[in-house]
Structure 1
Amino acid sequence: MTGLSRWPGRYTDRHGSEEIVFESDGRELIRTTIRGVRFEGETMDTLGALTGEPPEQAFTFAEGDLWSCLLEWGLTMPVEVSGQGERIATVHGALQLWYPDQAENLTVTLRLDGYEFRATHPDFEDALHEIGRELPRAVRLKACIACAWSDYHPVGHGMMTGLACFRGAKDVYRRCDGKKGPNGILTIWPRHTEFVQETWICDQFEHRTSDRGYRGPFPFRGWN
């Protein structure tokens, strides 16, 4: 996972709309330029201005973060189709940020072979779980959210990027059997390699199984 990915996107608020490009390292860095102002943050809902104080009439901020707008971006994601190998799907994200109530509305749409699979949730975890359940059984996502070596902290996480990768501690993570105890996620948490975005992937990807880690299988299909 080296270098930056470029995601074509669009910014819209009460002043108008313009095409933009997001840059991301797949971990905890997202950058873009809007109306000549450079923004950076760990997630799409924590983008702050880097070039001093931009004109207040041009943007709306909540505690330094960009709000009262619609952020849209597109990226590609590999999927595995049984009997056909790997295919490439497109993913469209649309995040509405409302101020002053500070409400967030994330819609994720995956497109494959002319079909659309859409989910609206507060974060990427739930949205991709829903999309994963809607996909035909023969189709599986290939991204960090679906990887055998990734997990979330029990106290929760933000709308994206809070996914811990344990690829550097596979032997330890294989023994993870819940929340607490000598092999619990809280005990082994300091051994995680880094944080990644749910839609990222590296060359050590392995499909997640039902008995792996604290958070369980992907996609989660409910209790039987």
Structure 2
Amino acid sequence: MKDFYPATYTDERGVENTVIENDGETLRVTIRGVTFMGPDFDRLAPSEESTPEQLGYFSLGPDSLCACRIIFMMPISIYNCGDNSEGSLKIEVRIDDPNSNDALEYYQTRIRLDCDQGEFTSSGKGRDFESELLEIQSLLPAGFYMRLCINCLFSDYSPFGKSQFGDLMCYRNKKADYLKVKNKVDYFSLGFVCDRKVQETYLCPEFERRVPGTGYRI
């Protein structure tokens, strides 16, 4: 199943309206006739069919889009005091040129949630999707939460590090074992044999609300 998000791409050469295609593992977006693909927004690489002339209209380094800003809308589900309602995330990703002396942060993410309770915006200080989504969750009134994998009881990150987006490990195949994890030592004993990696914004039918103190992460 694929999702499609209306998006705006901006760089020093101008603004382009486009659509982000997401199959749960790979992001695809076509800009100025060039298709870029990757597992994360800072790893969007041009397709092999792209010509040097086409790539001359972009800043690339190393081998992926940079010096640009991408804004898109994503519909999500909200738990609303016993009921489920619809909400949407306005996501802004800024990717600086890593070789530029003017780059403040190589990668920055800022997210705004629009739902029945109003608008809730992250600070952008955390930069990755985990930090920004958890910040928004902390702003929501009691009894409300985003029904996303980032908030799921059976999701966690590797202690060896993670990417900015889409590197969340799903343990729905080892629920009982995972729920015994209380610290890093317990987590290592689990062996990191997860069902799969998922995007923070994904949602499956086995979602359960995360309980503080469960697993390796907060």
Tell me whether the two structures share a fold, i.e. TM-score over 0.5: yes
1:212 aligns with 2:211: no
Give the SS at the match of 2:184: coil
Contact 1:152 1:163 in 2 (8 A): yes
In 2, the alpha carbon distance for the partners of 1:187 and 1:39 equals 38
Contact 1:153 1:185 in 2 (8 A): no
1:61 aligns with 2:60: yes
CA displacement 1:158-211 (0-9 Å, x = unmatched): 11111000111112212212111xxx2223243201111111100000001123
Q: Aligned match of 1:110 in 103, 110, 113?
A: 113
In 1, the alpha carbon distance for the partners of 2:44 and 2:63 equals 8
Q: Which moved more, 1:50-59 or 1:146-155?
A: 50-59
In 1, the alpha carbon distance for the partners of 2:52 and 2:93 equals 22
In 2, the alpha carbon distance for the partners of 1:49 and 1:139 equals 40
Contact 1:37 1:54 in 2 (8 A): no
Give the SS at the match of 1:145: helix
Matches within 5 A, 1:121-160: 121-160=126-165
State percent identity of aligned pairs: 30
In 1, the alpha carbon distance for the partners of 2:189 and 2:9 equals 41
1:196 aligns with 2:198: yes
In 2, the alpha carbon distance for the partners of 1:90 and 1:158 equals 23
Q: Which runs of 5+ in 2 are unaligned?
A: none
Q: Which runs of 5+ in 1 are unaligned?
A: 217-224
| TM-score, length-scaled by structure 1 | 0.89
Contact 1:153 1:186 in 2 (8 A): no
Give the SS at the match of 1:20: strand
How far off its partner does 1:129 sit?
A: 1.0
| Residue aligning to 1:30 | 27
Q: Aligned match of 1:47 in 40, 44, 49?
A: 44
**Paired AA for residue 94 in structure 1:** E
The structure 1 segments of at least 4 consecutive aligned residues displaced by more than 6 Å after TM superposition are none
| TM-score, length-scaled by structure 2 | 0.91
Q: Which moved more, 1:65-74 or 1:100-109?
A: 100-109
